Amino acid sequence: MTIPATATEIHLASRPVGLPTSENFSLVEAPVPDPGEGEVLVRNDYLSVDPYMRGRMNDVKSYVPPFAVGEVMDGGAVGTVVASRSDELSVGDTVLHNYGWREYASGPARHFRLVDTTAVPASCYLSVLGMPGQTAYFGLLDVAAMRPGDTVFVSGAAGAVGSLVGQFAKLRGAKRVIGSAGSAEKVSYLREELGFDAAFDYRSGPVGEQLAEAAPGGIDVYFDNVGGDHLEAALTQLRTFGRIAMCGAITQYNNTEPAPGPRNLFLAVTKRLRMRGFIVTDFSERTGEFLAEVSRWVAADQVSVRETVYSGIGSAPDAFLGLFAGDNTGKMLVRLGRTT
């Protein structure tokens, strides 16, 4: 394989105000580095774009450092080792790492994790067997403490995390699983392909009314990917001692002013609800436990995985922006095409 002298990276050109635009990104041709001692060079095959990256475009303190203006962005990726100066990894190995948003990545071998692609495609390590899968698994089972017989409501249920939450809930014995999504097509996907007991299009009517109709007896668990009106509706429908896993609030990521809290937040007191935010890295030491169970489900075809795939490094900004327009069903990925 011929390794090119230069390759394309995506840099943060400027910090967005409100919804990002293509002008906030720049495509930069950069030298492909030779790996140093103990390092590897990887040709990226798939890049992940994720909603949390919007927060990293702001210069604010958070659980992960912000992207630097004028520098390459990063994120989850899987790729193939094309040069190695490490005993840990060999040329041809498929690896998972966090040097995304570029065609070629180089770094210490310990920053790249060898993955097995004999039974599943490499892209699965960016979805069901990767960060979205772990977020769904630990958020549902640990943070929300879902129990067999529970009724579970998932917002953003056709996305990378939400689509897995619903399926994991069914596999772990939920009595009823309800999801919201942003189109009639996605609602059909939840019901017909993923096995949700009920689903509704949040654009077609008030969320509170639609959730009340889907869960006339109330809900025990709410997995929140959206915030806003979904959280307010869930607070109304939650039974006493219900639990909320607060994973994300994509409706608020591009706000330029703080969003008001739910008008009915006091229900958390009267119903003795538990609301807990979490970050997937809280559970990084239990990755083995997650892989053991979820890999069995995947191998047995008990979990359906949908991907929305853009092609070429230059499409990464459009793929990212598409997350906020609801363009994806399942995991949003960028497939890289350079093979020379």
pLDDT tens digit string along 59-68? 988 888 899 9
User: CB–CB of 195/339 below 8 Å?
Assistant: no
> pLDDT value at position 339?
39
User: Above 70 in pLDDT, residue 338?
Assistant: no
Domain assignments of the chain as residue spans, ordered by start:
6-127+306-335, 131-281
> pLDDT value at position 113?
96
Amino acid at 239: R
User: CB–CB of 274/283 below 8 Å?
Assistant: no
pLDDT tens digit string along 38-52? 999 999 999 999 999
Compute CA distances 38 → 43, 98, 109, whole Å: 17, 18, 6
User: Above 70 in pLDDT, residue 301?
Assistant: yes
> pLDDT value at position 62?
82
Mean pLDDT of 324-330: 92
d(CA 290, CA 78): 19
pLDDT tens digit string along 173-220? 999 999 999 999 999 999 999 999 999 999 999 999 999 999 999 999
Tokens representing 267?
């229900």
> pLDDT value at position 340?
35
> pLDDT value at position 256?
60
3-class DSSP assignment, residue 333 = strand
3-class DSSP assignment, residue 292 = helix
User: Above 50 in pLDDT, residue 132?
Assistant: yes
As to burial, measured by CB atoms within 10 angstroms (0-12 exposed, 13-18 middle, 19+ buried), residue 99 is: buried
Alpha helices in the chain (DSSP H): 53-56, 131-138, 162-171, 184-188, 207-214, 228-237, 267-270, 287-299, 316-323
Domain 6-127+306-335 has CATH 3.40.50.10800: no
Tokens representing 248?
């994300």
> pLDDT value at position 261?
77
User: CB–CB of 89/112 below 8 Å?
Assistant: yes
CATH superfamily of 131-281: NAD(P)-binding Rossmann-like Domain (3.40.50.720)
218 — alpha (psi -120 to 50), left (phi > 0) or beta?
left
DSSP output for 205-230: S-HHHHHHHH-TT-EEEEEESS-HHH
> pLDDT value at position 85?
97
User: CB–CB of 70/9 below 8 Å?
Assistant: no
% of the chain beyond a pLDDT of 70: 98
> pLDDT value at position 57?
94
Tokens representing 269?
């007191």
DSSP state, 167?
A: H
- Phi first, then psi, for residue 267 (nearest 5°) are -60, -25
Range in 94-108, 224-238, 242-256 with the lowest mean pLDDT:
242-256
d(CA 299, CA 306): 16
> pTM score, two decimals?
0.93
Block residue for tokens 């409501």: 153
Residues near 40 by beta carbon (within 8 Å), at least 6 away in sequence: 81, 83, 84, 85, 86, 89, 95, 106, 107, 109, 112
Block residue for tokens 């999504």: 181
Tell me whether the CATH fold assigned to 6-127+306-335 matches the one assigned to 131-281. Answer: no
Tokens representing 110?
């310990």
User: Above 70 in pLDDT, residue 255?
Assistant: no
pLDDT tens digit string along 239-249? 999 999 999 88
